[in-house]
Amino acid sequence: MKAGVLVETGRIEIQEVECPVMQPNQILVKVKNCGICTLEQRLYRGNMKIYYPIVPGHEASGEVVEVGSDVFGDVKKGDRVALDLVLRCGECYYCRTGHSNMCQNRFKKGVRILGGFGEYLAVRATQVYKIPDSVSFREAAFVEPVACCIRSLKKIGLSLADDVLILGAGPMGLMHLQVARAMGSRVFVSDPNTKRLEKAGSLGASLTIDPVH
CB-nearer residue toward Zn ion: 95 or 200: 95
CB of 116 to Zn ion, least distance (A): 10
Q: How far apart are CA 133 and CA 140, in angstroms?
A: 11
CB of 66 to Zn ion, least distance (A): 26
Q: Which residues bind Zn ion (CB under 5 A)?
A: 37, 88-89, 92, 95, 103, 105
Residue 129, CA distances (Å) to 32, 115, 147, 158 in order: 14, 17, 12, 25
Q: How far apart are CA 128 and CA 116, in angstroms?
A: 13
CB of 134 to Zn ion, least distance (A): 23
CB of 149 to Zn ion, least distance (A): 11
Q: How far apart are CA 21 and CA 131, in angstroms?
A: 24
| Dihedral angle over CA of 96, 129, 61, 126, nearest 10 | 40
CB-nearer residue toward Zn ion: 59 or 67: 59
CB-nearer residue toward Zn ion: 67 or 95: 95
Q: How far apart are CA 32 and CA 71, in angstroms?
A: 22
CB of 57 to Zn ion, least distance (A): 10
Instruction: Please count the helices (runs of H) and the strands (runs of E) in the chain.
Output: 6, 10
3-state DSSP percent of the chain in helix, strand and coil, to 5: 25, 30, 45
CB-nearer residue toward Zn ion: 131 or 209: 131
| Dihedral angle over CA of 140, 143, 144, 148, nearest 10 | 160
- In the three-class reduction of DSSP (H, G, I as helix; E, B as strand; rest coil), residue 117 is classed as coil
CB-nearer residue toward Zn ion: 3 or 175: 175
Q: Are 53 and 7 in contact (CB under 8 A)?
A: yes
What is the total residue count of the chain? Answer: 213
CB of 94 to Zn ion, least distance (A): 6
CB-nearer residue toward Zn ion: 60 or 64: 60
